[in-house]
Structure 1
């Protein structure tokens, strides 16, 4: 599953790339993230089905409409950072909103763990070779706190089975975010498609040749260390022979699709 990602673009760069405005109410709150930690429920840029012509900010971690209090919402949203494509129309948290409340989550890249055979775990950063950002398919909801009256707009990130690259990287319970191909953005946001059509869109990202990946510093694992810095995205050299050998397998997969 995916609990960390980056969005390092400035607001004006997102507006140019997606040809949409970020209204001033969101622009004032927006900040880029080199490492957005889902469990901190950050405000992140999305394009939602109810306002498809703007970029807005929503909180990561969908709050179900039946949450009874702020404390109840905090508990429930920790289990809704991700939503599996295969059960999107089965689980109570998602099935009633998935037909109409879908969104594109705008990200620069994602972080996924790799479990080496010696027991060590290192994170890889996966991004696009084209240097364009990803739009990850998600679902969104709004919830009004009965205590404060504040309305929270929040989202869950949809995941699918992995493509060959993500299967090699995220090798313990492999999954990957649902990267929506550029030409399907409008289809994903449309409310004029059927549940069958929605399900058919949720497929693993096929264009492996558009991806690149590299290992990063272990600092992303350290909760007491600030990993929301540019250095988090830098390539870390692997020195252990086991790590070098198993990393070569990942490189071989990339090279196979590039060729």
Structure 2
């Protein structure tokens, strides 16, 4: 699962890394912590315009939910899409073929459970550089998008962190980003990319303040990325 992301880089860094321009002339707003359940905007590179970056509401709205997006979001959690079922799902099958996107980030949070207590872990590239999740999007109106992040079965390293659900977001290796957006990629190729496209870059992960999970606390600051030493977790060791 991935319900919380960071994007702390500047507009210049983002546009340079993805060789794309911001298409909606609004102020670019970096963030330390975006909680998906607030349905705030992520930044995406859509398949139909690979040289453009758009803000996109986090929480995918399928065609059958567009008459009442708010009602749909109250009934369904579409922050993530299970990669194993995107071709058969009534929710996502409309987009997997021709509405794939890159979801831009430089970090995310995953829950780790120890003795029935949940600890948030901050995960990012060792060099803290930008990356892209594999995503799907829908167009609600002109220049108004919604999106979701694909998840896959956790590898050995992420099983250690997300030790309850054992899932992880599909972080695309930079080599496969262009392919993910290619209109020539058909079902077999999409499935192969999902299977083999996870990043080869080194990932660092460590626990942060449990205040990330509390209401009424401003977590859109360095609290969302600052390491916290929990003695009870040190006893477990680490794969990172």
Give the TM-score category using the shorter length. over 0.9
| CA distance in 1: counterparts of 2:224 and 2:133, whole angstroms | 21
**How many residue pairs get matched?**
238
Larger helix proportion, structure 1 or 2? Answer: 1
* 56, 62, 65: which one aligns with 1:64: 62
Paired residue for 2:131? Answer: 134
* 168, 178, 184: which one aligns with 2:176: 184
Q: SS of 1:203's equivalent?
A: helix
Q: SS of 1:51's equivalent?
A: coil
Paired residue for 1:147? Answer: none
Q: Is the 1:30–1:43 contact (alpha carbons within 8 Å) kept by the matching residues of 2?
A: no
| CA distance in 1: counterparts of 2:42 and 2:111, whole angstroms | 22
The alpha-carbon deviation at position 218 of structure 1 amounts to 0.8
Unaligned runs of 5+ in 2: none
- Return 210-219 or 129-138, whichever deviates more: 129-138
| CA distance in 2: counterparts of 1:105 and 1:151, whole angstroms | 16
Cα distance, 1:231–1:192 mapped onto 2, change above 3 Å? same
Paired residue for 2:158? Answer: 166
The alpha-carbon deviation at position 70 of structure 1 amounts to 4.3
Q: CA RMSD in A?
A: 1.7
Cα deviation digits, residues 237-256 of structure 1 (max 9, x gap): 113xx32211x1x2xx23xx
| CA distance in 2: counterparts of 1:15 and 1:112, whole angstroms | 27
- Please identify the structure whose Cα radius of gyration is greater: 1
Q: Is the 2:105–2:130 contact (alpha carbons within 8 Å) kept by the matching residues of 1?
A: yes
Q: Is the 1:115–1:172 contact (alpha carbons within 8 Å) kept by the matching residues of 2?
A: yes
> Could you state the TM-score of these two structures normalised by the residue count of structure 2?
0.93
Larger strand proportion, structure 1 or 2? Answer: 2
The alpha-carbon deviation at position 151 of structure 1 amounts to 6.5
Unaligned runs of 5+ in 1: 145-149, 255-259
Cα distance, 1:128–1:218 mapped onto 2, change above 3 Å? same
Paired residue for 2:43? Answer: 45
Paired residue for 1:217? Answer: 209
